[in-house]
């Protein structure tokens, strides 16, 4: 009865079970992912499902279901699901037995052992009253609230599921929570919930009523009863009317029902009973004996046709007012349940699924297709050498348009005793580079100051040209020009470090890199 815990049998899951298991796995994975603070598939980082890599074949939904089943088989979720189902079936079985027993005993209780005449209206209303009221309540609450579907037996079943002790092996608490939660979320999402809870309710009621009917038929077949109509405060006509009204529907279905004469006779028997009971009170001691006599008297007075008619009236009433409506609702619930279960589809747009699908669709990225070259050894700037003049040149190299060039303080070339300096245009293009190189080649200055925009990234081309130009000057230094505004300076700060590193790599140490205009000016005009 209880399947082994370790290896669930390889029976194919029904669609409902497959969806259920998938939902349980999804909820579990989302919870795990949230716990670990990662996505279900965390990009290049570790992910919950790193170990499950099934290729997507045969549709996304089928893939998700298959994947969930594979996972569930491994982590005990499938086992928990099947165990829960078994338990649900066992509890349902218990309740079914309870329903049959209570239906049986209710009917027998109302009919009694035959020692007293059966009060037909009291019996019928007693037997159909509860089921009919319950059914009406179910219908009304379903229509009003739109989703209350459990009904009393359904609630009872849920109560049993939560409170009855569990048998058979250790239970996996976390898996159970996920399984129940999954059933709840899945069925509330698909609208199944109200129908399967309703189905349980209607099944139990149906069993109870059927048991009631069977018990009634058994009693009527195997015992002899006489039937009376009784009332204390109603007028006899009212009772007669009630009987006729109740009889109308069964009669139209072909049930034999008592005619007016029979009703009058049954009522008359009651009156006899009542009068004899009044008489009997005179002598308390003889009460029971009198009653027995009265009962047998009325029993004897009823013809077989009358008894058959009354029996048929009772059976017809129970069938038409209790069993048939319940059967109809039960069938409706069964059909809806069957339809919804057949149409059950995994919502692949749910959180968790979307990520999974996206992830599995691209199992591998092209990766590095062209590896990085060996790091080139940067060529070094020319060593400082003597040049036979004291000239200095300030050269702007790729400067931002917002920088004033030449800078205000250095705008007018000065001639100082023994040396002066010249300011060139900003050098950018190939042609400018070429002509500048040509000029420097024809007359190499002792000092060459390159002004670079600190906000730009130093690149290999620029650094290469700095190296090239260093051969045409006695000494080359670099001035990292930064803009005046404060926010730009902070933005440039990172790049200044980059510049210093890059310049150091080509042999321009910190002593040959300056950042202020005054330092630049001082170096240009100073002569040794």
* Residue ranges in 489-508 that form contacts with another protein under rule CB under 8 A: 491, 494-495, 498, 502
Burial class (CB in 10 A: 0-12, 13-18, 19+), 112: middle
Site string for another protein, 183-202 (x = CB under 8 A): xxx-xxx---x---x-----
- Residue 338 interacts with another protein (CB under 8 A): yes or no: no
Instruction: For the segment 9-38, give every residue that binds another protein (CB under 8 A).
Output: 33-38
353-361 helix and 60-75 helix, angle to the nearest 10 degrees: 100
170 lies in the site for another protein, by CB under 8 A: no
Residue 162 binds another protein (CB under 8 A):
yes
Six token digits for residue 445: 């200055």
Nearer to another protein, 98 or 357 (CB): 357
Query: Is the torsion defined by CA of 163, 166, 172, 176 positive or negative?
Result: negative
The answer to the question of residue 461 lying near another protein (CB under 8 A) is yes
CA–CA dist 323, 131 (Å, integer)? 9
CA–CA distance, 506 with 460 (Å, rounded to integer): 10
Among residues 285, 300, 342, 372, the one that binds another protein under rule CB under 8 A: 372
Nearer to another protein, 10 or 484 (CB): 484
Nearer to another protein, 15 or 181 (CB): 181
The single-letter DSSP state of residue 474 is S
Shortest CB 372 distance to another protein, Å = 4
- Interface residue with another protein among 70, 231, 264, 432 (CB under 8 A) is 432
* Closer residue to another protein, CB minimum distance, 330 or 499: 499
- One residue of 75, 141, 272, 515 binding another protein per CB under 8 A: 141
d(CA 114, CA 129): 23
396 near another protein, judged by CB under 8 A: no
CA distance 403 to 91: 85
Please report which residue ranges of 191-259 form alpha helices under DSSP H. Answer: 192-222, 236-252
Does 130 contact another protein by CB under 8 A?
no
To the nearest whole angstrom, how small is the minimum distance from the Cβ of residue 70 to another protein? 19
Cβ atoms within 10 A of the Cβ of 462, count? 17
Instruction: Give burial (CB, 10 Å; 0-12/13-18/19+) of 206.
Output: buried
Asked if residues 124 and 246 have their Cβ atoms less than 8 Å apart, the reply is yes
Binding of another protein at residue 58 (CB under 8 A)?
no
- Binding part of the chain for another protein, among 108-116, 231-239, 327-335, 424-432 by CB under 8 A, reads 424-432
Query: Scanning residues 277 to 306, which ones bind another protein (CB under 8 A)?
Result: none
Question: Which of 448, 340, 434 lies closest to 387, judged by CA?
Answer: 448
Q: Please identify which residue in 366, 418, 509, 510 interacts with another protein, judged by CB under 8 A.
A: 366
Q: Which two tokens stand for residue 519?
A: 């330092």
User: In terms of CB distance, is 446 or 463 closer to another protein?
Assistant: 463
CB of 464 to another protein, least distance (A): 6
Q: Applying CB under 8 A, which part among 118-126, 169-177, 226-234, 407-415 lies near another protein?
A: 169-177
- Cβ proximity of 156 and 95 under 8 Å: yes
Q: CB 506: neighbour CB atoms within 10 A? A: 17
Q: Which of 61, 259, 488, 496 binds another protein (CB under 8 A)?
A: 488
Which lies closer to another protein via its Cβ, residue 265 or residue 399?
399
Only one of the segments 66-74, 254-262, 453-461, 510-518 lies at the binding site for another protein (rule: CB under 8 A); that segment is 453-461
> Is residue 227 classed as helix, strand or coil in its secondary structure?
strand
């Amino acid at each position: 009865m209880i399947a082994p815990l370790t290896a669930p049998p390889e029976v194919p899951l029904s669609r409902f079970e497959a969806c259920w298991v998938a939902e349980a796995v999804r909820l579990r994975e989302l919870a795990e992912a949230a716990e670990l603070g990662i996505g279900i598939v965390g990009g290049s980082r570790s992910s919950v499902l790193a170990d499950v890599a099934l290729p997507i074949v045969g549709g996304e939904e089928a893939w998700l279901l298959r994947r969930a089943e594979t996972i569930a088989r491994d982590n005990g979720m499938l086992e928990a699901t099947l165990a829960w189902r078994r338990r649900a079936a066992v509890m349902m079985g218990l309740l079914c037995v309870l329903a049959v027993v209570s239906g049986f005993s209710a009917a027998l209780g109302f009919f009694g052992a035959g020692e007293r005449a059966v009060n037909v209206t009291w019996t019928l209303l007693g037997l159909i009253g509860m089921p009919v009221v319950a059914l009406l309540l179910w219908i009304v609450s379903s229509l009003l609230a739109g989703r209350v579907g459990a009904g009393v037996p359904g609630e009872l079943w849920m109560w049993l599921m939560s409170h009855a002790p569990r048998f058979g092996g250790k239970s996996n608490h976390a898996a159970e929570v996920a399984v129940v939660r999954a059933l709840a979320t899945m069925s509330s999402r698909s609208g199944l919930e109200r129908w399967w809870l309703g189905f349980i309710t209607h099944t139990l009621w149906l069993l109870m009523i059927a048991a009631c009917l069977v018990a009634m038929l058994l009693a009527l077949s195997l015992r002899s009863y006489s039937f009376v109509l009784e009332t204390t405060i109603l007028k006899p006509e009212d009772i007669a009317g009630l009987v006729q009204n109740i009889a109308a529907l069964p009669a139209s279905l072909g049930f034999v029902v008592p005619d007016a004469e029979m009703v009058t006779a049954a009522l008359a028997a009651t009156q006899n009973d009542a009068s004899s009971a009044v008489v009997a009170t005179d002598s308390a001691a003889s009460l029971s004996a009198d009653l027995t006599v009265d009962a047998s008297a009325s029993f004897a007075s009823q013809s077989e046709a009358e008894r058959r008619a009354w029996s048929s009236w009772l059976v017809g009433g129970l069938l038409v007012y209790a069993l048939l409506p319940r059967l109809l609702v039960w069938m409706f619930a069964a059909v809806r349940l069957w339809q919804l279960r057949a149409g059950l589809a995994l919502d692949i747009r749910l959180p968790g699924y979307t990520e999974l699908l996206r992830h599995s669709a691209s199992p591998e990225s092209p990766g590095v297709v062209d590896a990085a070259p060996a790091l080139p050894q940067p060529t070094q700037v020319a060593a400082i050498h003597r040049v036979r003049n004291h000239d200095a040149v300030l050269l702007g190299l790729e400067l931002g348009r917002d920088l004033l060039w030449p800078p205000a303080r250095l705008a007018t070339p000065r001639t100082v005793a023994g040396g002066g300096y010249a300011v060139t245009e900003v050098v950018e293009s190939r042609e400018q580079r070429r002509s500048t190189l040509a000029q420097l080649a024809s007359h190499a200055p002792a000092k060459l100051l390159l002004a670079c925009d600190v906000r730009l990234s130093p690149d290999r081309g620029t650094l290469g040209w700095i190296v090239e130009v260093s051969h045409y000057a006695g000494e080359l230094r670099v001035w990292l020009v930064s803009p005046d505004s404060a926010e730009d300076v902070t933005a440039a700060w990172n790049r200044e470090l980059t510049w210093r590193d890059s310049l150091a790599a080509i042999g321009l140490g910190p002593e040959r890199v300056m950042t202020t205009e005054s330092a630049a000016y001082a170096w240009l005009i100073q002569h040794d």
